[in-house]
């Protein structure tokens, strides 16, 4: 006799970039184990409470400004006590949830980035308030096919968000400059996009290395910037414009915003 495993009901509140992205990966990779239901603004109060009442895992994927309303009006009222709450919301620490839901809320904070879309995400995971190690484990199980997860203490989550959560935009801003420089040289838009995509993927794979060979980022730069060559001149120009400080200042701005 075969015993069928129970399907775990997951509710995602907010179907924007992050909510949709995780919902899609969970549905595609863990079919038959989890069933994903979204709560959007289009749902009636009754639909919202019905979905929440049945949820074993509630994922919060709304903007920080909308969080209070969601916690006050719904999660507090309808969520079962045994539900694990997984919040993707940046810049709001567990003390704010404790005020709304009480110290016993089983809150796990996950700070993702959008590379989850291609199953290359890198996210932090943090156990807070009344969450048990099993709650963290259950979130790891549901998200592990979508993203790499690293355990992180809560005091470091904002710093992590400023570096890793925002990182796709940092890379993409740089990519956009290269793409437009290629176009300025007369390379067609499609080819310029291919050039940028191939280079980013290729560089990523080179940084990752292989079991046989692993080179540091510095080594990889030196392989392109041979002495006396054009790349060396370009790197010197970046240095004289204080490129490192520009990037670090951007990260600091993001961090200060999260802390404010």
Ligand X SMILES: NC(=O)c1ccc[n+]([C@@H]2O[C@H](COP(=O)([O-])OP(=O)(O)OC[C@H]3O[C@@H](n4cnc5c(N)ncnc54)[C@H](OP(=O)(O)O)[C@@H]3O)[C@@H](O)[C@H]2O)c1
Where on the chain is the footprint of ligand X (CB under 6 A)?
13-19, 39-41, 61-64, 66, 69-70, 88-90, 111-114, 165
Give least dist CB 119 to ligand X, A. Answer: 16
Q: CA distances (Å), 167 to each of 79, 113, 152, 250, in order? A: 33, 8, 17, 11
Q: Of 136 and 157, which CB lies nearer to ligand X in the complex structure? A: 157
Give least dist CB 85 to ligand X, A. Answer: 14
- Round to whole Å and give the CA distance between 212 and 19: 38
Give least dist CB 216 to ligand X, A. Answer: 28
Q: Which residue is nearest to ligand X (CB)?
A: 16
Closest C-alpha to 100, from 82, 134, 136, 76: 76
Q: Of 73 and 223, which CB lies nearer to ligand X in the complex structure? A: 73
The dihedral through the CA atoms of 244, 247, 250, 251 has a sign that is negative
Q: Of 86 and 136, which CB lies nearer to ligand X in the complex structure? A: 86
Q: Of 31 and 63, which CB lies nearer to ligand X in the complex structure? A: 63
Give least dist CB 234 to ligand X, A. Answer: 30
Give least dist CB 255 to ligand X, A. Answer: 14
Q: Of 57 and 192, which CB lies nearer to ligand X in the complex structure? A: 57
The structure tokens 């989890």 sit at 34
Q: Of 192 and 258, which CB lies nearer to ligand X in the complex structure? A: 258
Give least dist CB 21 to ligand X, A. Answer: 8
Largest CA distance in the chain: 73
| Cβ–Cβ < 8 Å for 79, 106 | no
């Amino acid at each position: 006799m075969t015993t069928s495993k129970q399907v775990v009901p997951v509710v995602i509140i907010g179907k924007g970039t992050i909510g949709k992205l995780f919902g899609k990966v969970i549905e595609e990779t863990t079919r038959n184990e989890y069933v994903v239901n979204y709560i959007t603004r289009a749902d009636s109060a009754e639909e919202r409470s019905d979905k929440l009442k049945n949820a074993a895992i509630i994922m919060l994927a709304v903007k920080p400004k909308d969080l209070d309303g969601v916690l006050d009006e719904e999660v507090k009222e309808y969520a079962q006590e045994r539900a694990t709450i997984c919040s993707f919301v940046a810049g709001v620490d567990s003390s704010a949830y404790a005020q709304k839901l009480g110290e016993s809320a089983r809150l796990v904070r996950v700070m993702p980035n959008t590379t989850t879309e291609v199953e290359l995400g890198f996210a932090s995971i943090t156990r807070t308030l009344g969450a048990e190690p099993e709650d963290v484990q259950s979130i790891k199980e549901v998200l592990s096919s979508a993203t790499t997860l690293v355990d992180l203490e809560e005091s470091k989550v904002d710093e992590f968000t400023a570096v890793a959560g925002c990182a796709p935009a940092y890379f993409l801003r740089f990519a956009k400059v290269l793409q437009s420089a290629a176009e300025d040289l007369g390379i067609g838009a499609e080819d310029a996009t291919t050039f940028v995509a191939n280079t980013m993927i290729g560089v990523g794979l080179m940084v990752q290395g292989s079991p046989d060979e692993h080179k540091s980022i510095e080594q990889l730069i030196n392989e392109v910037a041979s002495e006396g060559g054009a790349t060396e001149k370009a790197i010197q120009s970046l240095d004289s414009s204080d490129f490192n400080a520009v990037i670090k200042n951007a990260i600091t701005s993001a961090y200060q915003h999260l802390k404010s």
